[in-house]
Amino acid sequence: MYEAFIFAANAVLPIIILIALGYFVKRIGLLGKEFFDAGNKLVFRVLLPVMLFCNVYKIERLADVNPAYVIFGTAAVIMIFLLAIPVCCAFTKDNGKRGVLIQGIFRSNYAIIGIPLAESLFGEAGAAAAGVMSAFCVPLFNILGVISLTLFNGSSEKKKPDVRKILLGIVKNPLIIGTVAGLAVLGIRGIFEACDIAFRLSDITVIYKSLDSVKAICTPFALIVLGGRFEFSAVPALRREIVFGTVLRNIAVPVLGLSAAYLLMQPLSLSGEHFATFIGVFATPVAVSSAIMAKEMGGDDVLAGQLVVWTSLFSTVTIFVYVTVLKMLGIF
């Protein structure tokens, strides 16, 4: 028990401390809102795409990727999305809140918290596995988010969704671009190996070291920015929805997802690095981008923002518990 506790503390507490640091420096006025807004753009448009590229590139061979692991992860997210629809419809009759709650249940903060956590739990193997899963989960989160907010739109202006614009937005997503670029270079490397060509991207030292340096600053900077963007506020009118969304996101989804993965561990040949990724997919808080999307698509953006804050706050406890339990089960 003690060993499991220490393992969880070493993996989770550094992430919590960096988030708290961001919130602290904002509260004391050392850095302002403009800095964190600009920092958020830098993270999503430059730092995260580079980190995803590097994580994918460091995979030895695509043939080593377990397809069952990817299929399980994506299928589980879709199943959670489908289950969330009737549950949220039964909970509230407000369409603006329905779409936001559905998105809050299935959509994790995979890029900012999930990937660093996977690396913290299982080193480069965890980062590589998380990078592969990002190629599927990042676009899936965006697509399902658009569907949920289109089906349940609280806006008074019932506009027909622009499918072309939506698809273009998904294709132009920097996180998807970074992941796909990594897979493309990995594929080229495989062709070079088959043709006995010794040249690798890592042989271009200037470029490779620069990319590696950007990757190194991504995680701490992204977590500090995340903390600096937190706005804790009491919203009495939304207390019921906040509690509902937080409980489902932080407790129900991780328990269902991780339990299913544990039961299928041997049939699917799942290992520690896969579970490190599943914690990122199922147990991390609601994605920050969910609030932005809700505002743009007529959802209740106030509720969406509060779900980001409160699921992030409670995940500092729940993720710690899940990591401890998995360590005690011998998975990590």
| Residue 66: strand, helix, or coil | coil
Cα distance between residue 246 and residue 216, in whole Å? 31
Q: Which of 318, 236, 324, 326 is nearest to 275 (CA)?
A: 326
From the list 131, 286, 307, 326, the residue with the least C-alpha distance to 233 is 307
**pLDDT score for 81:** 96
Angle at 106 between CA 105 and CA 111, to 5 degrees: 115
Provide the CATH number for the domain formed by 2-328 in this structure: 1.20.1530.20
∠ CA(169), CA(172), CA(173), 5° rounding? 85
Mean pLDDT by 10 residues, the chain (332 residues): 71 82 92 87 85 78 78 95 95 90 92 84 84 82 82 62 66 79 83 79 83 88 83 77 95 96 92 91 86 73 85 88 90 82
List, as one string, the DSSP characters of 167-191.
Answer: HHHHHT-HHHHHHHHHHHHHHHHHH
Nearest to 136 by CA among 74, 207, 198: 74
Res 234: pLDDT: 60
Complete DSSP assignment for 198-241: ---GGGSHHHHHHHHHHHHHHHHHHHHHHHHT------GGGHHH
pLDDT at position 2 is 63
Q: Are 123 and 94 in contact (CB under 8 A)?
A: no
pTM across the whole model? 0.78
Give the C-alpha separation, 189 to 194, whole Å: 9
CB 142 within 8 A of CB 170: yes
Q: Which pLDDT score, from 0 to 100, does residue 62 have?
A: 65
DSSP state of 299: S
Whole-Å CA distances, 26 to 36, 128, 140, 232, 285: 9, 33, 33, 13, 21
Rounded CA separation 106/82 (Å): 9
For residue 4, the model assigns a pLDDT of: 67
Torsions phi, psi for 160 (to 5 deg): -70, 130
Instruction: Give the whole-angstrom CA distance, residue 108 versus residue 318.
Output: 14
Q: Where are the domains of the chain?
A: 2-328
